[in-house]
Amino acid sequence: MSGPYPIRGSVVLPEAELVWRFSRSSGPGGQHVNTSDSQVELKFDLAATKALPPVWKERALERLASRLVDGVVSVRSSEHRSQWRNRETAAVRLAALLSEATAPPPKPRRPTKIPRGINERRLREKKARAETKRGRSARDW
């Protein structure tokens, strides 16, 4: 594998806490497909990890609740024919998933008020447009 996968800042995915499982990929692939275990399933115990700060861990557990099975998040990759490339893809995907899940919540939106001048100008232009259209209809019968 090509090395540490950053989650956010200096926090990286800990290699020791990753559990890999390999199996045969489905679909066409010729003679090689029946003999090689190229599909990769990567599991990471999010509930028991010490690599993430407690605040991030709580945030990730809350946001990924629908994906977790007993506190473990899993990612599967089988789009490449090579097991090594599938390992890379799964690790990058897991890092991206954790990065998104540990992101701080967005700032709350401050409601703004439309300035009175803008609203008045919009209504003036609307009346002028209506007058123009009304002038086009010839109803003098």
Over the stretch 22-44, which tens digit does the pLDDT of each residue have? 887 776 666 665 667 788 899 99
For the chain, residues with pLDDT lower than 70 are: 1-3, 27-35, 140-141
| pLDDT of amino acid 15 | 84
| pLDDT of amino acid 52 | 86
Tokens describing residue 61: 């557990």
| pLDDT of amino acid 53 | 87
Residue burial 80-118, b: 16+ Cβ < 10 Å; e: rest: beebeebbbbbbeebbebbbebbeeeeeeeeeeeeeeee
| pLDDT of amino acid 31 | 62
| pLDDT of amino acid 122 | 96
Which residues, 6 or more positions from 87, have their beta carbon under 8 angstroms from its beta carbon? 1, 20, 40, 42, 77
Distance of CA 104 to the CA centre of its chain: 14
